Amino acid sequence: MEADTIALVRGEEELFARTAHLFAAASEIACAANDFSTWSRPRSAPLQSSAPSTIRKIYRPGALLDPSAAEHLREVASHGADVRITLEEINETIILDRRVVILAGDVVDGVRGYSVLSSPAPVQGVMSLYEAAWRGSTELAAYEAGFAEVRLLAPRILDMLASGCKDETAARELDLGLRTYRRRVAELMSALGATSRFQAGVRARELGLV
C-alpha cells in the first residue's frame, strides 16, 4: 500500500492479498474483535515470517463461551501475547506497527468488507480509541476467574431461555436462587453483546453455541 491511503476490500482473501507483506514485517500487532469469526485467516494466506515482538488482543466475553476458542486464547497468552477482555463495545480492528489500520465492516451477501487505512490522522484516531479500550479491559486470566460459572452454565441457561419457561422454573431446574439466575442471565447477555434475551439466543446461534 502507498502512504496516506484508504482502501476498501471485500473478503478475507483480498484483504490478506493486499496486506500479507505488512503482517509478515510487523513488529507490533494490536487486535480487537468480538469473537473469532471476524479475522479468520484464509488457507491461502501466508504465515508471518517471524513473530512480532508485541501482540495485544482485546476480545468481548462471548469469545470465551466457546471452549475451543477460550483454550486458543490461553495458548496465545502462554506464548507471550497480552490478551484482555472488555465488556465495552469495540471497533473490530487490527493495527500494524501503529502505521496501518484494518477496520472490519459489514457482511454483505456473505462477504465481509474491510477498510485499510494508512493516513496518519485516522490511524492516530483509531489508535487512541484502541488504547482507551485497552486501559478499560481486564487481563484474560483475571477475567476468566470470575467468568467460570457463567461459561459452565451458558448452555443450560440458553436452553432455558429458548424454552420460554419462567425465571422461577429455570432457577429451580439449575438449582440456583432466582436472583442468582437472573444475574447469570444478565452476565451471559453481556458476554454475547445482547440487549434482550431474544437477541442473546440469536447471537448464541450465530456463534454455534446452540
In the chain, where are the structural domains located? 6-136, 143-206
CATH 3.30.870.10 is held by the domain 6-136: yes
| pLDDT recorded at residue 37 | 75
Task: Give per-residue pLDDT as tens, 106-165.
Answer: 888 888 999 999 999 999 999 999 999 999 999 999 998 888 888 888 889 999 988 889
pLDDT(47) > 50: no
CB 99 within 8 Å of CB 123: yes
Other Cβ atoms closer than 10 A to 146 = 10
* Secondary structure of residue 205 in the 3-state scheme: helix
Give helix 140-163 / helix 197-206 axis angle, nearest 10°. 110
Task: Give per-residue pLDDT as tens, 75-97.
Answer: 999 999 999 999 888 889 999 99
| pLDDT recorded at residue 210 | 66
Other Cβ atoms closer than 10 A to 102 = 23
Rounded mean pLDDT, 27-39: 87
pTM of the model: 0.76
Percentage, residues of the chain above pLDDT 70: 91
Domain 143-206 CATH class label: mainly alpha
